[in-house]
Structure 1
Amino acid sequence: MTSPRTVARELPVGPGVYRFRDAAGKVLYVGRAVNLRRRVQSYWTNLGDRPRLRRMVDRIDRVEAVRCDSEHEAAWLERNLLEHAKPRWNRTEGGQEVVGYIRLDRTRQRPGLRFAHRVTGPSLHFGPYLGGLRVRQAISAVHRVLPLTYAGTARGSAREFAELFGIGPDDRDSLARTAVAVLSRDPAAVSGLRAELERRRDHAANELRFEFAAKLHDELAALDWIVAEQKVSSLDPADLDVCGWADGVLVRFQIRAGRLCTWTQRAAAAPPDLVAATPAAWQPFARRNAELAARLLHGR
């Protein structure tokens, strides 16, 4: 029988979530990784002074994994799974990052993007996102290129900055539409905003304004975090099942109230009707993770 350590070599090098099972099939641990292969292999090579984990590693009989589309998606999936059921070897129920949203205020006096801890009122919201600081940095990045906050009718310093930028209330709707396109992950809008932020960062570095360049670099990373593909937690409170099948293995994900909260896999001689019923937007995710599950299982 192939050892779990050897099976780990079959893991992809991208972001995702992994879990370990013992010989009885009980889940021991759920974790997330930027690089699944490197992270899982580290349990057999680089535990350092963590004797608690070494005891767990001795019990691992099977490795399972889900390949995600982004680090942000992996962070959400780990959180959802642990909030639903925490294995013995996990210390906390889900991640520690703050959950946040971005609210678009279209008021004529003070338009702009705001951080919100929850969805309230009729305003347009985007998210959910993990990491309060990252969300605020991303808002700063968008406002830096799209100064929506100065396109209102408010007086005082806001009006002075508006005159400096050469914008006014007539620009409010145009700036808001572009901000919505960015937060909706429109490729052209995101690419244009990133290019301008990169130009300003590089210009600041060339002028030896390194602290400002570093700030822009952090804002770029935060922007990438919130516009990355992320389906496992949604504003849409839908309930649905997502299933994929490959080489005799059926993988099933349950989405409840917009969150992917359970993940199971089992042998299946042929793809059941649930696979065909999986929404088109989820089919690539389901298919590739069924293929991954089969590869890890047959690697044994």
Structure 2
Amino acid sequence: MENSVQGTLDELGVPLSQITFVVFDLETTGVSSDEHAITEIGAVKVRGGEVLGEFSTLVDPGSPIPPFISVLTGITDGMVVAAPRIEAVLPSFLEFARGTTLVAHNAGFDLGFVKAACAAHGYPPPRHPVVDTVVLARKLLTRDEAPNCKLSTLAKIFSKTEPCHRALADARATVDVLHALLERAGSFGVHTLEELKGFVRAPTPEQRRKRHLADAVPGGPGVYVFEDSGGDPLYVGKSTNLRNRVRSYFTAGETRPRIREMVGIAERVRTIVCATPLEAEVRELRLIGSSKPRYNRRSRFPEKMFWLKLTDEPFPRLSIVREIKDDKAGYLGPFTSVRAAEDARTALHETIPLRQCTERMTPRTRHSACALAELGRCGAPCEGRQSAEEYGLHVASARQAMELDASPVFSAIELRMERLSLDQRYEEAAADRDRLASYVRTSARMQRLRALTVIPQMVAAAPSASGGWDIHVIRYGRLASAGVMPKGAHPGPFVDALVATAETVAPGPGPVPAAGTEETECILRWLESPGVRLVQVEGSWSLPTLGAGRLQARIDRAYQAVEPRRPREGRPQR
């Protein structure tokens, strides 16, 4: 390790080429610095484009590494059993970084673990200046150049090192990304650390020039629509305080390049005042889905969803479809991509011996069986080896796994993953992990949706900011009416009036029969928030006892070492 350092905190105006950066990355057992531990530290010290030294060590976390984390990173309990504990590693890392500027990709995540380790072992928290390459990338790159700001995406553009969830390799890739971004920042006249910080924060001339567009915007909850000179929507958003939110688009706080570009085109801001924040969120989703503004990324195409269908025929099979029909078939979804649906289908096929051929079959169909029959993964009804009644037992198991009980599929694939990991076949285990995650997450999501969408009418209330009550009428998972009952008012007449004027909702087929998936999920989040009370419920609101929700937490923990970074690494979408 190289020991020379360059102070930068108190020397304003030092050229970036003379600043010593320590670019670092951590691997951990999970996302929370309070509950999880560091398993690896990798760091690279650079100045003026030259590597001055590297720091790399595995760390014994003091507890077993979750199997899914081992699949993700390749770091196993056997690899860290002889590694030093964090209390032995931390002083060396802090000395390596002393007097430098720290750099990380999504720095808040990695610094959170370093600060937690310092607090636990009696060291002061790091006082270094910090550069976050995610923030820099958002400022300097357009979506045409990089669809998101994940390290893997930027490394493909700027680095020959491929990030692989190992700390030193990821730190080396981040060095290349940093140098490329600093070079680009130089073309904007940014040559010192202070200029870099100011550049990230500064509003554009167009933002300053368009500030008057927010002058007439009212307060309170609602939806805002940025429109161009022809009145076409550019961007739709929602807020609990329209005035404050719209004003923020014209300040230094708005750093997204694409949104700054949108502000330069916008000629007016139209607002729709709503009774409650939930109504505003639902109206935003509906407006984005109907008008598809080009600067919104999320929710523009709610119709582009995929479903896994257990077909309605004598020998059903699993088929990927775009539309739910009013038939007796079983459905699992929605999936946002064909790949996700294929992963879930593979997970089911790994556990349940359904046929995988695509032609329609009847009890009289006869043709040669495929290789799956010889492998014991299909009962070969095509050759008459299995009757419709015998095959129906597998169909019932598949429907049970899709709609009620995910545990047989989960247990079978988890056991297979453990065997693959023991054999160090990590890529195959990772593929199984992704298939299982797609199946469990989607199953849990559908069960939550269906629990609400089967209810003809629900009335729920939550305390409002004004001291009264936000009251909503929900029919088959769709928001039918919203209102604010004043403080001290009698609830009976108010609720009766709100129900009487609510939208009439006729349910269609499938798990989401009356609204878009995102709308129903938005309502579910509100219903599950603190303080919400159920006023009226037709029927019952419940989840399956053996549903996938109880397994989803285990799946989510498997991805916590990487996925918590993704929403912040990816550019904000709305």
> What TM-score results when the alignment is normalised by the length of structure 2?
0.33
Q: Hey, what does 1:149 align to over in structure 2? A: 355
Q: Alignment partner of 1:94: what SS?
A: coil
Equivalent residue runs for 1:72-111 within 5 Å:
79-80=285-286, 82-83=288-289, 90=296, 94-95=300-301, 98-105=304-311, 107-108=313-314, 110-111=315-316
**Structure 1 position 98, deviation (Å):** 2.6
What is the rounded CA distance, in whole Å, between the counterparts of 1:87 and 1:242 in structure 2? 32
**CA, structure 1 residues 65+113, in 2 after alignment: closer, same or farther (shift >3 Å)?**
farther
1:27 lines up with 2:227 in the alignment: no
Task: Indicate conservation of the 8 Å contact 2:309/2:330, yes or no.
Answer: yes
**CA, structure 1 residues 91+220, in 2 after alignment: closer, same or farther (shift >3 Å)?**
closer
User: Higher Cα Rg: structure 1 or 2?
Assistant: 2
**1:25-46 CA-partner distances (Å, limit 9, x unpaired):** 4423149xxxxxxxxxxx9978
Q: Hey, what does 1:38 align to over in structure 2? A: none
Equivalent residue runs for 1:52-201 within 5 Å:
52=260, 79-80=285-286, 82-83=288-289, 90=296, 94-95=300-301, 98-105=304-311, 107-108=313-314, 110-120=315-325, 122-127=327-332, 129-133=334-338, 134-149=340-355, 155-158=367-370, 160-165=371-376, 168=379, 169-170=386-387, 171-184=390-403, 186=404, 189-201=405-417
**CA, structure 1 residues 290+211, in 2 after alignment: closer, same or farther (shift >3 Å)?**
closer
Higher normalized strand content (fraction of residues): 1
Q: Return 5+ residue gaps in structure 1 as ranges.
A: 1-20, 32-42, 67-73, 294-300
The percentage of aligned residue pairs carrying the same residue is 17
What is the rounded CA distance, in whole Å, between the counterparts of 1:286 and 1:155 in structure 2? 54
**1:226-259 CA-partner distances (Å, limit 9, x unpaired):** 211445589979864643233622232544xx55
Q: Alignment partner of 1:291: what SS?
A: coil
How many pairs are equivalent?
A: 240
Letter in 2 for 1:102: L
**1:100-121 CA-partner distances (Å, limit 9, x unpaired):** 222222544x531111111347
Q: Alignment partner of 1:102: what SS?
A: strand
Q: Alignment partner of 1:148: what SS?
A: coil
What is the rounded CA distance, in whole Å, between the counterparts of 2:438 and 2:287 in structure 1? 24
1:249 lines up with 2:469 in the alignment: yes
Letter in 2 for 1:183: M
Task: Indicate conservation of the 8 Å contact 2:292/2:301, yes or no.
Answer: no
> What TM-score results when the alignment is normalised by the length of structure 1?
0.58
**1:181-228 CA-partner distances (Å, limit 9, x unpaired):** 1211x2xx3122111111112222322333322221111111123211
**Structure 1 position 286, deviation (Å):** 6.1
Superposition RMSD on alpha carbons, in Å?
Answer: 5.0
**Structure 1 position 80, deviation (Å):** 5.0
Q: Hey, what does 1:3 align to over in structure 2? A: none
**CA, structure 1 residues 154+96, in 2 after alignment: closer, same or farther (shift >3 Å)?**
farther
**CA, structure 1 residues 165+271, in 2 after alignment: closer, same or farther (shift >3 Å)?**
farther
**Structure 1 position 179, deviation (Å):** 1.0
Bigger relative contact order (CA 8 A; separation at least 6): 1
Task: Indicate conservation of the 8 Å contact 2:288/2:299, yes or no.
Answer: yes
Letter in 1 for 2:469: V
Task: Indicate conservation of the 8 Å contact 2:289/2:302, yes or no.
Answer: no
**Structure 1 position 138, deviation (Å):** 1.0
